[in-house]
Structure 1
């Protein structure tokens, strides 16, 4: 296999490269972030790259840069396999990748590198166009809350109207005037929407924006 590695941890990056090269595979590039991975792939041009090992949390924010880079990579080069690599089993990351590609993708936890044969086999499966999910990731997907479209279907007609107007940028006051409701009633509908969409209050999240994004995504 010809492999491109993207991981901001130098020890992990070089360790993976040594492991793969020691087993007869070619590491065509080893870089520290998603943008560098996309640039390396573009620089290789028509040169064959079978699979990219992409860490999920990389600079600059160390949140989901790898996932976003993987989505861009699959859009540009659907023939190249992408194996997301992370310490964490996160349903949202797995779904993001599977939403844009159902062939040649995978999500493996970094602990699996200790099982060298399993890791190499997973890479080969992704390079061959198959989907590979770490057992913990697969279990998390099965146990995850109901899909978004199911959650939206749980909204009442009035709650759907409120969410639609929220998506149009209306304030609660404007929604109340449009639907001939009191401000308190609109507030209750908004709270119900948050609850049915699984949006719990958190200091780092703006639930109104998240609700609108989910409505638009569906």
Structure 2
């Protein structure tokens, strides 16, 4: 018996969650799923109509807003966000920047999802991503002239960030912006990155101190107990 329609839809979504690029052409989706191009096109169109995928002006497809909203509503991210919201509000008020909480989109994926804004960020070019990265991604796209393009340089940065417990990215993702982030830790390690984005030129001493303090004060919710057999 062939794969179910639901299974084929899931395979299309899985094509975006294996560490590859965040945007794929239809031919890429067909190749990654093993589906015939007409079948892939039909499923992609259904997902676009539902909001699970978005088609960009360049013809490439990206994960859609509806999936981001569902992901942010999942118990683990939702609970983390609820726990962090008071600190995020205070951090934004203190620094005048945009405060956010970011998580990995999946253990095997390189994307970073911001739970407040819903933005997906490149992991190698933002402070949030550098807090959450274990090793450099295979591909380091350049977003500005300041983006780190060498895996060796990025690996040294990540080691320093793990030691310091803080990441600072100056104009690596967007010109005119500096992001600062620190890890939110639980019993099993780093769960999220809490940080703020401020305009270039803002004195960073108070910003870095405020980010460190805010991340340290977040208490992740306890996971629900497993039901008794």
TM-score (norm 2): 0.26
Name the structure where strand makes up a greater proportion of residues.
2
Name the structure where helix makes up a greater proportion of residues.
1
Could you say which structure has the larger radius of gyration? 1
TM-score (norm 1): 0.27
